[in-house]
Amino acid sequence: MFRSLIRPAATRLPLAYLAPARGLEDEAYLKPIPTHSGVSTLVLNRPQAKNAISMKLLDQLADCLEVASFDKNLRAVILSSSTAGAFCAGADLIERRSMTETQVNKFLADLRAALHKLENLPVPTIAAIDGPALGGGLELCLACDLRIAGHGVTKIGLPEVKLGIIPGAGGTQRATRLIGLSRAKDLIFTGRMLTAQQALEWGLVDYVSEEDQSAVERALELAGEISVNAPLALRSAKKAVSRALELPLEPGLDFERATYDSLLKTQDRLEALQAFKEKRKPVFKGE
């Protein structure tokens, strides 16, 4: 079932590689990056709807995350759009109008589960925001480890109160943990839109691309810096850092030490020591 969700690697970079193959209609798919070993993009592909989250897109997104979670060769994932100038406009409100109450409840439960899976992928994740990230679109970004906004992006926000609801896919919780209580209240109560630079100043994104650079291009640079490191160490580091806000300091330190100890006898650790001795770059195998 999952095989069709993995697209063959493309041969052109940077933006052309995101274009879907002709005749395929996946609304979300994984695509390895040939120039970056261990890096894949998780591509949103509903250009006609600005990647609004439909039931089909959500189902395929969840399947892609399932595939990624078991890929031992994966070192980083970039969440991106197949179309320049777009990221994700949030939930598909046109589809929502025709959904029954049961379907809405299932959609919200499935969306929560998918974002939980995204947040807990064992490898670092980067959201490449090359267009508006609104509502559920921004909530997807908040479930990633790092966020990069394209230089010219002008619409990043959680406008749900303008539609008579509140952020319902983790926005009230993840935004508060990321940018603090007061700024989260400001963002959500007003439903304001932030530019890329404002989002950087607020701490909502971690990087803004250069003026002549897309968010995907900047994300590839960052993924390149990440993916050269020891795969098991990356996974363990993510696990330890992610527990930091959940645990008091002393239990957190205990968890960190246990995670650290588990790496000491790995082949990658021994390779790193040998490479240091020989003054060369280590060759990591994730073992």
Residue-range domain boundaries for the chain? 3-227, 231-278
What was the pLDDT predicted at 3?
40
Of the residues 27, 139, 217, 256, which is catalytic?
139
User: Tens of pLDDT along 88-134?
Assistant: 999 998 898 899 999 999 999 999 999 999 999 999 999 999 999 99
Q: Would you tell me how many other CB atoms lie within 10 Å of the CB of residue 207? A: 18
- Identify the pLDDT of residue 275: 81
Can 256 be counted among the known catalytic residues? no
Which CATH number is associated with domain 3-227?
3.90.226.10
Q: Is 250 a catalytic residue?
A: no
Whether the model pTM is above 0.85? yes
pLDDT tens readout for residues 250-268: 999 999 999 999 999 998 8
Question: What would the mean pLDDT of 14-43 be, rounded to a whole number?
Answer: 74
Q: What is the pLDDT of residues 144-199, one digit of tens each?
A: 999 999 999 999 999 999 999 999 999 999 999 999 999 999 999 999 999 999 99
Token digits of residue 56: 């089909």
Indicate if 139 belongs to the active site.
Answer: yes
pLDDT band (50, 70, 90) for residue 215: very high
Domain spanning 231-278, CATH architecture: Orthogonal Bundle (1.10)
**Residue 136 is among the residues annotated as catalytic for this protein:** yes
Please pick, among 136, 137, 150, 157, the residue that the annotation labels catalytic: 136
Decide if 134 contacts 159 (C-beta within 8 A).
yes
Joined together, the tokens standing for residue 138 give 């921004």
Local structure of 160: helix, strand or coil: helix
Active-site pick, 89, 91, 149, 219: 91
Which residues is 43 bridged to in the sheet? Answer: 29, 80
Catalytic residue chosen out of the listed positions 160, 170, 217, 272 = 160
